[in-house]
Structure 1
């Protein structure tokens, strides 16, 4: 019998991957009466939630006293992913599982925060979208759940690390507090008074296991997960190595190419969503100086970051009104086509959010330390040099 070297790859099969997940769930799950699952609607979290539901139904892992599925609805997910997530939640509800949709507070929703408060679209240097749309709302719901349960619970996530079967099998993933090593799930234990401890039961799965499970969950178990593969660009029938593509929000301004939206629109059933491709150029346009205010003469530091004397700031009111019209026009264009084709409509800005945006604009609302009296970003101003001296303009106008 040949001994495997460090460089040999012994591929982990899906049945073996599931068996390792069962071991970690049986072991760590037994320490908690209450479980919760963080569900985002992506491929990994969809695989996790459908796997655990099936393992409980088949008796392969014990049913906890309570299991709560928390769906973080950012209201910016790609329509097919959102539709699939809603279908999965409906199926889970019909099977007797407790599901909750977690929304951001109204003032922190994407377009309310941007157009009502004037904060520019997120960027790689100012990525406010994840904390405002997902982290803050989920933390709030977890605190509420901890209070309801009266004790710390087990939080299950779809986190996976590595794409090599050899590494997944050979590296024991250390627990953070109990001094043990599991190797079948990434367990993070916190203090007794904390909200929850965390377990990632599919941490060792390869991406091909995720796709294989999602097909099984749809075809054999009745969960609407097949659509997820199309969004990620994976043709599960082509026999090729599955893609490990990522998706973001609709028209994500943080990427150079919105490949996920392009893949969705390339599918005939979702082609009517093509007007959504106008969003990302709109986000880039609205960041330009003519749509924003500018501080002139102020010098300060925020933490360790220096903020200069001529920095651009929030969107001014006229820019917000203009952008609101553009976004609503895109929404109307998509929904007009949807109605004519008998397809699902979208909601970029719903009625509640529209009312709030208009209220905040009418109230002259700006981010902290801005009040709307600042200079326009494209206004010609004397240059303030690092030493504090001022370089006056040679001309007042061209």
Structure 2
């Protein structure tokens, strides 16, 4: 008596054609239930594979075209150069197909560089100040969706590049249906409510049609299939190369912001620099050390004593470290601009694409905010610098005098 095995069993691996067929089934099952589609695109490997796959399925008639399709590109202004440059090329290719593309960016004063160097907010960290992802990516995307929904009737199906990968499916750490909103196994992770989207409940459903794809299938699609004329002639090879292509490991195939303050190691940038075409970007190695340097006490202000809150209580950390000094901001601005100049000077010599860490509008706004003596809320600018020696004040108001007293 033989036992039929599932494609999700540990002993059997999904083949490329099977992965594509499951994606087709996913789109056929849920696409027609929504008149309007949106594709959330970050420019990374999974979302780009999803975007180009859906467009190919539409072009070949394998799935039915919706009334409207909008691609929302999350431009954080911090992406690795190969991804940002490829995204620009792919956006041109989308527009050539008459597909609407909306570039989603944070408002000027909330962009990463402006927020740090102009407003003086310290670089994010993993402990107490992880502000970046929501501010430069999630909040702008939610606002773009709100505006899109204002222009249509009914709901919108947001197609995402969420992908669990082979090991998670094999080990059943996630069931691809889980009975979630009636989805069937193998049909992607369909949800009728967009998670954590404030004020958007009931009008957005999400679908991850590449949830089941193995990472090697993503590389195969981006590097060999999608660039071919029969599959869309997309500019995706550089994206696969940015991750290390076929040599990249599932868990290490991650990219983030250039010089990400939250990452322990700069794996993504180092992978890019190993490619001779992108070696001219080596000055970017100087960004992460700059963010670490800006966290040092001499570059920041701190509260001098027992800060009282509106309810009369004393703040939990009465001598907490705070924003960057104007001198630190100007120093950092000069360093970033110097890194940008060094990369672009080499790019011009080699005939390679230039990069933009801080554009003219952002630089002007940073200098304007400094000239206006802008401080984050709750700070006046007359606080001492973080390296100032002073008596310790505890949350209960107790004071620990200096051991040897103040120097005269």
| Fold match (TM-score > 0.5) | yes
CA shift at 1:168, angstroms?
Answer: 6.6
CA shift at 1:316, angstroms?
Answer: 1.3
1:52 maps to which of 51, 54, 63: 54
Measure, in 2, the Cα distance between the counterparts of 1:329 and 1:86.
Answer: 24
Alignment match, 1:323: 332
1:18-68 deviation per Cα after TM superposition (whole angstroms, max 9, x unaligned): 111111111111111110000001110011000000000000000101111
User: 1:93-172 to 2 correspondence within 5 Å?
Assistant: 93-125=95-127, 126-164=129-167, 166-167=170-171, 171-172=175-176
Measure, in 2, the Cα distance between the counterparts of 1:124 and 1:169.
Answer: 26
Q: Does 1:375 align with 2:381?
A: no
1:207-226 deviation per Cα after TM superposition (whole angstroms, max 9, x unaligned): 12211221210134311111
Q: Is the 8 A contact 2:29 2:187 kept in 1?
A: no
Q: Is the 8 A contact 2:316 2:395 kept in 1?
A: no
CA shift at 1:202, angstroms?
Answer: 0.8
Measure, in 1, the Cα distance between the counterparts of 2:301 and 2:40.
Answer: 39
Q: Does 1:298 align with 2:306?
A: yes
SS of 2:23's equivalent in the other structure is helix
Measure, in 1, the Cα distance between the counterparts of 2:183 and 2:96.
Answer: 38
**Farther off after superposition, 188-197 or 27-36:** 188-197
Measure, in 2, the Cα distance between the counterparts of 1:8 and 1:200.
Answer: 22
CA shift at 1:200, angstroms?
Answer: 0.7
**Farther off after superposition, 217-226 or 372-381:** 217-226
Alignment match, 2:197: none
Shift in alpha-carbon separation, 1:152–1:15, aligned structure 2, 3 A: same
Specify every segment of 5 or more residues in structure 2 that has no aligned partner in the other structure, as ranges. Answer: 195-199
SS of 2:133's equivalent in the other structure is helix
Shift in alpha-carbon separation, 1:110–1:241, aligned structure 2, 3 A: closer
User: 1:227-242 to 2 correspondence within 5 Å?
Assistant: 227-234=238-245, 236=246
Alignment match, 1:311: 320
Measure, in 1, the Cα distance between the counterparts of 2:30 and 2:309.
Answer: 46
Measure, in 2, the Cα distance between the counterparts of 1:180 and 1:301.
Answer: 49
Specify every segment of 5 or more residues in structure 1 that has no aligned partner in the other structure, as ranges. Answer: none
Measure, in 1, the Cα distance between the counterparts of 2:99 and 2:64.
Answer: 14
1:341 maps to which of 350, 364, 372: 350
Alignment match, 1:224: 235
SS of 1:51's equivalent in the other structure is helix
Q: Does 1:173 align with 2:177?
A: yes
TM-score (norm 1): 0.92
1:234-283 deviation per Cα after TM superposition (whole angstroms, max 9, x unaligned): 2x4x7x97775101111111112101111111211111111110000010
Measure, in 1, the Cα distance between the counterparts of 2:143 and 2:174.
Answer: 37
Shift in alpha-carbon separation, 1:92–1:10, aligned structure 2, 3 A: same
Measure, in 2, the Cα distance between the counterparts of 1:56 and 1:310.
Answer: 59
SS of 2:218's equivalent in the other structure is helix
CA shift at 1:387, angstroms?
Answer: 4.0
Shift in alpha-carbon separation, 1:318–1:213, aligned structure 2, 3 A: same
Measure, in 2, the Cα distance between the counterparts of 1:141 and 1:172.
Answer: 28
SS of 1:17's equivalent in the other structure is helix
SS of 1:218's equivalent in the other structure is coil
Q: Is the 8 A contact 2:175 2:185 kept in 1?
A: no
User: 1:67-82 to 2 correspondence within 5 Å?
Assistant: 67-82=69-84
Alignment match, 2:25: 23
Q: What RMSD in Å do the two structures reach over aligned CA positions?
A: 2.5
Measure, in 2, the Cα distance between the counterparts of 1:190 and 1:21.
Answer: 20
TM-score (norm 2): 0.90
Aligned length: 392
1:246 maps to which of 240, 247, 254: 254
SS of 1:30's equivalent in the other structure is helix
Measure, in 2, the Cα distance between the counterparts of 1:173 and 1:269.
Answer: 42
